[in-house]
Structure 1
Amino acid sequence: MSSAPNVLLSGVVGSTAFGLARAGSDIDRLGIFIRPTPEFFRIGTKHEDSLVSTAPDVTMHEVGKYVNLALKCNPTIMDLMYLESYEQQSWEGEWLLDIREDFLSEGYVRSAYGGYAMGQIKRIKQELANEGRQKRVAKHARHCFRLLRQGQQLLDYGSLTVKVPDPEFYWAFDDMTGDQIEAEFWKAFDVFNDRVGILPQQPRTDRLQDFINYVRRL
């Protein structure tokens, strides 16, 4: 991965941030950088909007790409806005954190968090059909219920806590069957779908546009 210039924010995400890491778990980092505006006008220049490495595991998104992903409330992307601490944080990054609620809208939170959770249930079914690999079934279950809980937090409060308050709830999936997990999922999914939230129907893009305009200034 080439070096990311002008880093706004970066921090540890994934299982470490959730408080669900075990020995040997990967340490994943996610961040946002600003590409200097003149580069967008330079002839013959290819602009990478994501910089990715696997040793170590780091993903950096250019601020324009990050904002577009966050407006769709992509759960992996949104975690960065709610970490307890950051390894790098510029004043522009602090500004973005101050307006992070502007990304949120009811429809995208429901479709993104509910949809990603449903995807984990589908993976559980695939694992059960493939010799019933319990270890991977439990891993998908942890992702599934964390997503539903985070989505519900966003709907209820317009904010979320990345680190889970009750890790024992998630480790209990190690001892549950696929049928038990699926039954619990549908109960939780019904609660999620029926929840009347406080989020607006549309994100507040005016302040986000002001932010982009400023950090992209010549």
Structure 2
Amino acid sequence: MNGFAYPRTPILGGIVGSTAYDLATANSDQDRLGVYQFTGSELLGLDQPEQSVVEHELSDVQMHELGKYVRLALKTNPTAYELLWLPTFEVSTPVGDELVSLRSAFLSARYVRDSYLGYANAQFTKLKGNDYEKFSAGGAGRVRKNARHMFRLIEQGYGLYTTGVLTIQVRNRDWFFHQLPEMTIEQITTEFERQATLFNDAASVLPENADRARINEFLIRTRRASVSDDAGNK
């Protein structure tokens, strides 16, 4: 484990977001994502603690309990699912390693297309809600960030949809920081629509449905072990 103190003991954790995408700037926060497990007592007791924990003090950290995490990953929630494809982890345990080994079992063509295109469209909506002129005038960092993440989502989602592999780091950082800001809103709209259409019309290598049975078996087995370990320590 590295020196960073996660708010709950993680089974898997790492740096995600702009740093992982190679889209960080001097003003970017460092984002961390982690997965933790309920103890046996927490699983079986009357009052379960929170299924997600968020902190913003030393670093922006979001953690999900294993059950919630696998439900998010089964929907290919981009901000959660990307954790399983990081090239390196700050924290890794045997249970976390098994979770990573199951990353392809979470995939289904429909959810990947709908999630990544849906999030990209949400960024496009944010972009349209800002002052377009600021985008090319050297200001409005939020507008630039919306545009970068819009195209990053398209790039990542298309790659995952057509190859079954999620590449975290963008292919051409220079394009995102130098060419994209020089484009007019008309050019951005045209390029976004082109890429979105290409994504939507592409053939996928992914299965129609995720392997829910395999994920469910992992979750049940892991939770049973947690209860047994808790009982054995008393």
Q: Which category of TM-score, normalised to the shorter sequence, fits these structures? A: over 0.9
Counterpart of 1:27? 30
Taking the TM superposition and a 5 Å limit, the aligned residue runs for 1:144-183 are 144-171=150-177, 172-183=179-190
Determine if the alignment matches structure 1 residue 4 to structure 2 residue 8: yes
Taking the TM superposition and a 5 Å limit, the aligned residue runs for 1:25-174 are 25-43=28-46, 45-55=47-57, 56-128=59-131, 134-171=140-177, 172-174=179-181
Instruction: Tell me if the contact between 1:11 and 1:83 (Cα under 8 Å) persists in the aligned partners.
Output: yes
How many percent of aligned residue pairs carry the same amino acid? 39
Determine if the alignment matches structure 1 residue 207 to structure 2 residue 223: no
Segment of structure 1 superposing worse, 128-137 or 100-109: 128-137
Determine if the alignment matches structure 1 residue 184 to structure 2 residue 191: yes
**What code does the residue aligned with 1:175 have?**
E
Instruction: Tell me if the contact between 2:160 and 2:167 (Cα under 8 Å) persists in the aligned partners.
Output: no
Q: Distance in 1 between matches of 2:93 and 2:15?
A: 16
Q: Distance in 2 between matches of 1:2 and 1:150?
A: 27
Instruction: Tell me if the contact between 2:132 and 2:185 (Cα under 8 Å) persists in the aligned partners.
Output: no
Shift of the alpha carbon at 1:159?
1.2
> Quick one: structure 1 residues 178 and 25, their matched pair in 2 at CA, closer, same or farther if it must change by over 3 Å?
same
Q: Distance in 2 between matches of 1:118 and 1:81?
A: 24
When the two chains are superposed, the root-mean-square deviation of aligned CA atoms in Å is 1.8
> Quick one: structure 1 residues 95 and 214, their matched pair in 2 at CA, closer, same or farther if it must change by over 3 Å?
same
Question: TM-score if structure 1 supplies the norm length?
Answer: 0.93
Gaps of 5+ in 2: 228-234
Question: TM-score if structure 2 supplies the norm length?
Answer: 0.87
Gaps of 5+ in 1: none
